[in-house]
Amino acid sequence: MRLRLIRSTWLAEGVVQLEFADPAGDELPGWEPGAHLTLHLPNGLAREYSLCGDPADRTRYAVAVQHDAASRGGSAYVHERLRVGEVVEVDGPKNNFALTEAPAYMLIAGGIGVTPVKAMAEALHARGADWRLFYCGRSRTSMAFADLLESLGDTIVHADDDCGGTPDLGKVLADLPGGALVYVCGPEPLLAAVEAELDDPARLRVERFRAPERPAAGEPADEPFDVVCGGGRRFTVQPGASVLDTLRRGGLDLPSSCEEGICGTCETRVLAGEPDHRDFLLTDAERAEGGSMMLCVSRSRTPELVLDL
């Protein structure tokens, strides 16, 4: 869909909130906390941003974007070039980080990772759920929604500059209520620290900004395999090439965004064969089921994969 940027507001140092609406004033598709939009920016880049507004307000979508010093072109474009009134191609909302039923919730946000977590905290607060939030960042002035989240209830805001350094996540995760799910969104070191501290990985739900580094050594060399699409069209995926690129070179028009296995845009149903999953999205249960795969990173354990394309 094409949406107009109707408002741009500073939320914190280096963080701008963008609000989009349908140019004709039509109602927008609904969404649940944890969902994101993919913005196709006029400079050709596609970027995912979590929705952080009110899901009940179907007249607008809000996302928050931090100016990333190491920007690969997305946040820099948003901050320096995108102007109110412009119309942008948008995909979504899509949700890879949905709240599932649990007796209690521990939410952990690092920096701009607060955006999906803010919508979750508001929803859990509204439904009277048992939840707590730990929100960490470099300095309070750069942490969007800090005051709002503190006002909701059981929220700890930890700014490294004010608190004398990085947080003790062992303490944060101690004494979690039985059955509590842990939702975390933030930079990779925070996700790794939470993973290391948590005794039961099945309790963890993660939303990543970027794919973590893959170990370079010790991986077996990739083998070629065939992909079969609708109408029996067959393509050979060579080592070093992705399924996505191979199919595009073969003339298929396929959507993608992150091309790192973290956004789900290229998820495709698998009709036969066993994928070699290399994404950072699917759960162990979803992988075992083998019902879908991310074409941008995953490969095949069988000589042939049949895809629903």
Positions touching ligand FES (CB under 6 A) are 256-259, 261-266, 279, 294, 296
Instruction: Indicate the residue among 16 and 294 with the shorter CB distance to ligand FES.
Output: 294
Instruction: Indicate the residue among 176 and 211 with the shorter CB distance to ligand FES.
Output: 211
**DSSP structure class, residue 255:** -
Instruction: Indicate the residue among 39 and 262 with the shorter CB distance to ligand FES.
Output: 262
- What is the nearest approach in angstroms of ligand FES to the Cβ of residue 280? 8
CA 210, CA 269: separation in Å to the nearest integer?
Answer: 24
- Residues whose CB falls within 8 Å of the CB of residue 128, separated by 6 or more in sequence, listed in order: none
Q: Is the peptide bond before 93 cis (omega within 30 degrees of 0)?
A: yes
User: Which bin fits 6, alpha (ψ -120 to 50), beta or left (φ > 0)?
Assistant: alpha
- What is the nearest approach in angstroms of ligand FES to the Cβ of residue 131? 29
Task: List the alpha helices (DSSP H) in the chain.
Answer: 74-80, 114-126, 146-152, 160-163, 169-172, 188-197, 243-249, 284-289
Tokens representing 196 are 């290391």
CA 206, CA 96: separation in Å to the nearest integer?
Answer: 9
Instruction: Indicate the residue among 186 and 264 with the shorter CB distance to ligand FES.
Output: 264
- What is the nearest approach in angstroms of ligand FES to the Cβ of residue 36? 11
Instruction: Indicate the residue among 169 and 185 with the shorter CB distance to ligand FES.
Output: 185
Instruction: Indicate the residue among 257 and 300 with the shorter CB distance to ligand FES.
Output: 257
Tokens representing 157 are 């805001």
- Residues whose CB falls within 8 Å of the CB of residue 66, separated by 6 or more in sequence, listed in order: 14, 15, 75, 111, 112, 142
- What is the nearest approach in angstroms of ligand FES to the Cβ of residue 260? 6
- What is the nearest approach in angstroms of ligand FES to the Cβ of residue 262? 6
Tell me if 33 sits within 8 A of 40, measured CB to CB. no
- What is the nearest approach in angstroms of ligand FES to the Cβ of residue 204? 19
- What is the nearest approach in angstroms of ligand FES to the Cβ of residue 130? 33
Give Dmax over CA atoms of the chain in angstroms. Answer: 62
CA 205, CA 98: separation in Å to the nearest integer?
Answer: 9
Instruction: Indicate the residue among 122 and 259 with the shorter CB distance to ligand FES.
Output: 259
CA 168, CA 43: separation in Å to the nearest integer?
Answer: 40
Instruction: Indicate the residue among 102 and 296 with the shorter CB distance to ligand FES.
Output: 296
- What is the nearest approach in angstroms of ligand FES to the Cβ of residue 297? 7
Kindly report the length of the chain.
309
